[in-house]
Chains A and B, each alone.
Chain A
Amino acid sequence: MVDKLNRREFISATAVAGAAMLLEGCKSDANEQKAAVPKSSLNTINVALIGYGEEGKVLLESLLNIEGVRLVALCDIWDYHRGEGERYLQKLGNQVHTYENYEDLLAKEKDLQAVLIATPDFWHAPMTNTCLKAGLHVYCEKMMSNTIEGARSMVKTMRETGKLLQIGHQRRSNPRYVFTLNRLLHEAQFCGRLTAIQGQWNRAVKEDFGWPKKYEMPASMLAKYGFKDMHQFRNWRWYKGLGGGPLSDLGAHQIDIFNWWLGTTPKSVTASGGLDYFKNHDWYDNAMVIYEYPVESAVARAFYQVQTTTSAGGGYFEQFMGDDGTIRMSEDPAICAIYREARATAVSWDDLAQKGYVKAKPVAADATKVDVRETAALAEYEIPVFFNKPPHQPHLENFFNAVRGKGKLNCPADEAFSSEYVIHKANEAVAAEKKINITDEEVRA
């Protein structure tokens, strides 16, 4: 049994009665994409984790909090990380089999129902396809692949095998995101007509990942798994052919929200970026992107920037702006806020507050002192839904619920493909230095 140390998860709706029930009401009850699954003992789902780097460790911490799921196998090509994971799990009373090679894992593990894949992007497609064909459900971290073709192949295999494939855009299962989308954006039409979207991920300069010299992998091992050297292995995100650069690594989070919340994909993308700062990377270190979305017979433009040289400008968020109001969302609740234009009269703040959709923020003492030459500050409210689980946990829970046939995947591979396709196109636009049009046909897997 996994020890439930420091388990402090809860969902709460502060100062607003019934908000938690609203969350319940936001859940989909569709019967699509449920799956019959062979039962392991006591209805426990036996899971393997492939990849125990930074992201694999993040997934593990969420996994340890989820009832009815047991990690039985761990795979990583680096024995340093593999041993680390094994010892950690042993101390928690969880014995796992460990493997260097995922194909060996699949050959030897006979009582397995699902696999989590958290490896470098260029390995996602072959691993996912092999696992699906082996009869396993798969949770694969985003991006699906570093290539469009790889991603498309994953959707094809999912359909052919009938197995579930969830892609790790975890915000799609975040209760705050789900609540805000369904209650504020859709039901309350809080923003009015959407006219612009803005998103970013600004991150400070950071050194490349290092490694303990005495634990270096042999060159032959690195080459076997597609890496030139240890530096490339540890920093694969920055290398073309292995990952998709910062728009893929960071930008995919926000751009997926653009697509998900708008319910459509853009018709064009224009982008600029450059390898302007780091000297030993393949991919550019900054990019600025403009997407044009069709909205109500008009166009809403979305601007996105990713910076890896500054943490200024408020971290990471997605901001949906309309003629009645603006919603700024982030995985970090401290960044979230909602603003309402003075012209908005269809729905009052009081109505929204009484429904538990918003909560007023305390007004600063001098907030009402407005210079007549300036626009008055917009009324600021906050979203009254809070949860204290690790950010990836709800998305994993959604996956396992679907595996049990108790829910629908929030981000199945075919939907993820459409969303991620336009991210690949942004990279193309950076390289081509021109506007690229995107058709409805090509975004479908």
Chain B
Amino acid sequence: MKILSRNYSLVPVLVVAAAAMAQDKVPLKTQLPKPLFVGTPVPLNVPNLEPPLKGKRPDFMIPAGSVNLAKGKKVTASDENPVVGTLDLVTDGDKAGDEGSWVELGPGKQWLQIDLGKSANIYAVLLWHFHSQARVYRDVVAQVSDDASFKSGVTTIFNNDFKNEVGAGPGKDQNYVETYQGKLIDAKGAKGRYVRFYSNGNTTNKLNDYIEVEVWGKPA
């Protein structure tokens, strides 16, 4: 009788917890830029390429109350003298693919980092490289850490650098073609104050372009 009583009391807790978790998720909502196409389409010869998204991306659920923690936050980069633009363009809310909306880091391996100001639980990251042309940026890695130097406590949330070119370890994620919808990365609640992105040029040129980054989460 005592045992039955204990089992019975667990059920309402699980049901309540499950209901609470289900009610606590909401679709990630963000404003998308207009599609913009520039120049002659270039045939892509890229291995392990993600199939193109057909139509609108399905809703991605994040905990209610999550906000874009990156908005207006400080940006640093491995290239302190960009080819064009300024680093603050990455978190200014402008996702347009037109001239003046992106910062262009120099050729080869580069990183760009956003300081969220305080540690946070991160559920989703949206990343817009130059998206006015069907490009593939090479060796894209996204990491989260509380360590500004990314030497300890690093969580990798995306990595398609299968040859370990940028030195963040070999990755298995697929290459993808840039579009106006940006790249959605499931961060799975990774905890950290800093978010860092690597790339190594793209299929059009050797440069590394960032239009906007959104980091959706809650302060830890």
Contact = CB atoms under 8 A, between A and B. Distances in A.
Contacts, number: 83
A88 B99 contact: no
Given A87-B83, A91-B107, A315 B99 contact: no
A84 B104 contact: yes
Given A5-B201, A210-B100, A390-B42, A88 B37 contact: no
Given A84-B83, A84-B84, A91-B83, A211 B100 contact: yes
Interface string A177-200: 000000000000000000000000
A332 B99 contact: no
Contacts of B204: 61
Contacts of A91: 79, 83, 106-107
Interface residues of A, number: 37
A337 B79 CA distance: 44
B48 interface: no
B40 A5 contact: no
Contacts of A84: 83-84, 104
Given A5-B108, A206-B35, A206-B37, A212 B43 contact: no
* Highest count of chain A CB atoms <10 Å: which of B37, B38, B206, B207: B206
Given A388-B45, A391-B40, A5 B84 contact: no
Interface in B98-150: 98-101, 104, 106-108, 138
A344 interface: no
29 contacts: A3-B206, A6-B201, A6-B206, A54-B38, A58-B39, A61-B205, A80-B84, A84-B83, A84-B104, A87-B81, A88-B207, A91-B107, A92-B206, A206-B38, A207-B36, A207-B98, A210-B98, A212-B100, A212-B101, A213-B100, A214-B100, A215-B100, A316-B41, A331-B43, A332-B41, A333-B43, A388-B45, A391-B40, A391-B43
Ranked nearest first, the 5 interchain pairs of A and B with the lowest CB-CB distance are A212-B100, A210-B98, A91-B106, A84-B84, A332-B43
Given A55-B39, A64-B206, A84-B104, 7 more contacts: A58-B40, A88-B106, A209-B99, A210-B99, A315-B41, A316-B41, A391-B43
